[in-house]
Amino acid sequence: MLLSCTGVRKTFGDHVVLDDLSLEVAEHEVVALIGASGSGKSTLLRCVNLLTGIEDGIIRLDGEEITNPKINPDLVRQRIGLVFQSYNLFPHMTVLDNITLAPTRVHKRAAAEAREQAMHWLERVGLADKARAFPDGLSGGQQQRVAIVRALVNNPRLLLLDEVTSALDPELVGEVLTMIRDLKGEGMTMVLATHEMGFAKQVADRVAFLDAGRVLEHGPPDQVLGDPTEARTRQFLSRII
């Protein structure tokens, strides 16, 4: 397994957010996380990226226990890209500088190599002509695609996407979803939290429904979204569709 979460427990004070949660993701697999607001989707992605610690359980990446306190989290984060709902681009920096900031400063990689990688990705997603533009000169969809490129520039093993289309105007959602679909076509392993059931159905190999801090059920999209086993899943789907 490329990613394996076993018995993960995460609490905020008395509030148990992830409770004995287990999830496995194979290489090249795309898993959509669905569940009510507050069910812990974002928290799970943040735990995988080591932005927050867990109280119990083990998270492994390529078989390596990344939740081991002896592991350097910066090195793990180079292997895992995370993109949030809000694009978080620096407004005073060009697109190219936004993308190369992390590789050149944090990872001390040669600036020239980072720029080359960045241009390569921008070309692949059709944004090469925006390299010198500032974020406010781009549409929301273009900004979010740049944020995804920024997460790709280290050539991560795993890409985590947290509701990346939620902040976009409806007409801009499509270009971001197309980019995610293209990444899937290139074999990128992804875990994406989403409210877009239609998209989950199209792009995900597997859908995992989070409820009460655990993965209540998971399976192929047609099964989980079309014919769920659990009453809680049916209830959730009937409320949102």
Instruction: List residues near ligand ADP by CB under 6 A.
Output: 12, 17, 35, 37-43
- Closer to ligand ADP by CB, 80 or 153: give it: 80
From Mg ion, ligand ADP, none, which one binds at residue 49 (CB under 5 to 8 Å depending on kind)? Answer: none
17 contact, one of ligand ADP, Mg ion, none, CB 5-8 Å limit per kind: ligand ADP
| Number of neighbours of residue 13 by Cβ within 10 angstroms | 5
- Cα 44 from Cα 160, distance rounded (Å): 10
**H/E segment holding residue 57:** strand 56-61
When binding is defined by CB under 5 A, the residue of 42, 165, 189, 194 that contacts Mg ion is 42
User: Of the ranges 42-50, 69-77, 148-156, 184-192, which one interacts with Mg ion (CB under 5 A)?
Assistant: 42-50
Q: Pick one of Mg ion, ligand ADP, none as the site partner of residue 39 (Cβ within 5 to 8 A by kind).
A: ligand ADP
CA-to-CA distance for 207 and 215, rounded, in angstroms? 10
Element spanning 23, H or E: strand 15-25
- Does position 194 bind Mg ion by CB under 5 A? no
Please report how close the Cβ of residue 191 comes to Mg ion at its closest, in angstroms. 13
Structure-token match 């590789």, residue found: 103
Sorted by sequence, the CB contacts under 8 Å of residue 92 that are 6+ apart come out as 134
Q: Rounded to the nearest whole angstrom, what is the least distance from the CB of residue 197 to ligand ADP in the complex?
A: 15
Our CB check for Mg ion shows the closer of 39 and 100 to be 39
As a whole number of angstroms, the distance between CA 142 and CA 176 comes to: 8
17 φ, ψ (degrees, to nearest 5): -95, -45
Q: In angstroms, what is the minimal distance from the CB of 221 to Mg ion?
A: 20
Closest CA to 39 of 7, 16, 8: 16
CB atoms within 10 A of CB 227: 10
Residue range at the interface with Mg ion (CB under 5 A); choices 6-14, 41-49, 120-128, 164-172: 41-49
| Residue closer to ligand ADP (CB basis): 35 or 103 | 35
- The amino acid at residue 76 is V
Q: Which residues bind Mg ion (CB under 5 A)?
A: 41-42
